[in-house]
């Protein structure tokens, strides 16, 4: 079993780490071919690996011109199990209501919506992911570094998922029917609740509240979408269930190996897409 991953980042490395002990040979691309990966622009090597692969996974988000993987390598994707890491952002604002895979695609980013639809049309397993957290990239690090804040935005909720549960969902999904799957935990919650719980685990005071209008335009847009993501389809059809069913389970597990000193020394999460 051979898997080619387009975009060997934080989440896809966790996927590789889950699959490799189970007999998969995994290779991946990065922009520059760092750490033994393949440079995305190395067409000959990428095409060779795609031809050898039994499965292909893309975690590369679309840019302003469309989906880079489909633009360059669509012709070598046929005849293989396909998977794509999408975003629950394709649902747009639901006013705090629940959304499942039958909800209309109404996200504010047309290029993201189009990429999701294009991979589905190719027969891919499309994993729609909310905010991802995990070792080295969680509210624990942001609180410890003094970079976290609470936002005065009553009624706002988000869904999230531990990176290990994404890896588990993809591993299960590679052998299951094509289609879209929400991979999220069981408990949507406000970001304020999560930050306060992280501060409690670290034994520090929670950060102050800031007005919504003081945030960057990107952050304000983030808070402009309010939804709860249902994961029932992934449970039914993939046989998947999160090992970290809510943020409290996930942060407690992370805090067992995270002291305030270690957290503040950890690298800050990258901005934007973290897959």
Rounded to whole angstroms, the Cα distance separating 59 from 9 reads 8
Residue 244 reports pLDDT greater than 80 = yes
pLDDT 10s digits, 24-43: 999 999 999 998 999 999 99
Q: What is the pLDDT of residue 273?
A: 35
Output the DSSP codes for 36-47: G-EETT-HHHHH
Map residue 232 onto helix, strand or coil. Answer: helix
How confident is residue 257, by pLDDT bands cut at 50, 70 and 90?
confident
What are 30's strand-pairing partners?
Answer: 39
- Whether the CA torsion 221, 222, 227, 230 is positive or negative: it is positive
Lowest-pLDDT choice from 49-63, 219-233, 253-267: 253-267
Q: What is the pLDDT of residue 102?
A: 98
Helix/strand/coil (H, E, C) string of 171-206? HHHCCCCCEEEECCCCCCECHHHHHHHHHHHHCCCC
Overall average pLDDT of the 76-87 stretch: 97
Question: Quick one: tokens of 7?
Answer: 């975009």
* Burial (0-12, 13-18, 19+ Cβ within 10 Å), 247: buried
Q: What is the pLDDT of residue 258?
A: 63
**Is the separation of the CB atoms in 74 and 21 below 8 Å?**
no
Share of residues in the chain with pLDDT > 90 (%): 90
Residue 68 reports pLDDT greater than 70 = yes
**Is the separation of the CB atoms in 126 and 82 below 8 Å?**
no
| Angle formed by the axes of helices 191-202 and 247-255, nearest 10° | 30
Rounded to whole angstroms, the Cα distance separating 4 from 226 reads 34
Residue 78 reports pLDDT greater than 60 = yes
CA distances from 13 to 5, 45, 53, 59 (A): 9, 20, 17, 10
pLDDT 10s digits, 112-152: 999 999 999 999 999 999 999 999 999 999 999 999 999 99
Residue 271 reports pLDDT greater than 60 = no
**Is the separation of the CB atoms in 228 and 159 below 8 Å?**
yes
Residue 265 reports pLDDT greater than 60 = no
Residue 269 reports pLDDT greater than 70 = no
């Amino acid at each position: 079993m051979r898997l080619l991953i387009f975009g060997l980042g934080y989440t896809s490395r966790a996927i590789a780490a889950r699959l490799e002990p189970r007999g998969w040979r995994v290779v991946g691309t990065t922009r520059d071919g760092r750490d033994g990966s393949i440079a995305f622009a190395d067409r000959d090597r990428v095409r060779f690996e795609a031809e050898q692969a039994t499965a292909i996974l893309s975690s590369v988000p679309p840019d302003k011109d469309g989906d880079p993987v489909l633009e360059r390598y669509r012709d070598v994707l046929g005849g293989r199990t396909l998977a794509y890491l999408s975003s629950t952002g394709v649902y747009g604002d639901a006013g705090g209501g629940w959304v499942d895979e039958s909800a209309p695609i109404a996200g504010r980013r047309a290029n993201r919506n189009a990429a999701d639809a294009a991979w589905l049309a190719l027969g891919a397993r499309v994993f729609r992911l909310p905010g991802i957290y995990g070792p080295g990239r969680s509210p624990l690090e942001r609180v410890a570094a003094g970079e976290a804040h609470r936002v005065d935005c009553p009624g706002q909720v988000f869904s999230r998922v531990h990176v290990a549960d994404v890896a588990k969902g993809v591993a299960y999904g590679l052998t299951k029917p094509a289609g879209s799957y929400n991979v999220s935990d069981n408990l949507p919650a406000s970001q304020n609740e999560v930050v306060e719980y992280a501060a409690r685990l670290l034994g520090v005071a929670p950060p102050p509240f800031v007005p919504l209008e003081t945030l960057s335009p990107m952050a304000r847009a983030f808070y402009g979408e309010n939804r709860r993501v249902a994961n029932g389809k992934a449970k039914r059809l993939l046989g998947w269930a999160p090992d970290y069913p809510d943020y409290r389970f996930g942060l407690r597990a992370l805090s067992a190996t995270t002291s305030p000193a270690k957290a503040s020394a950890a690298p800050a999460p990258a901005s934007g897409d973290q897959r």
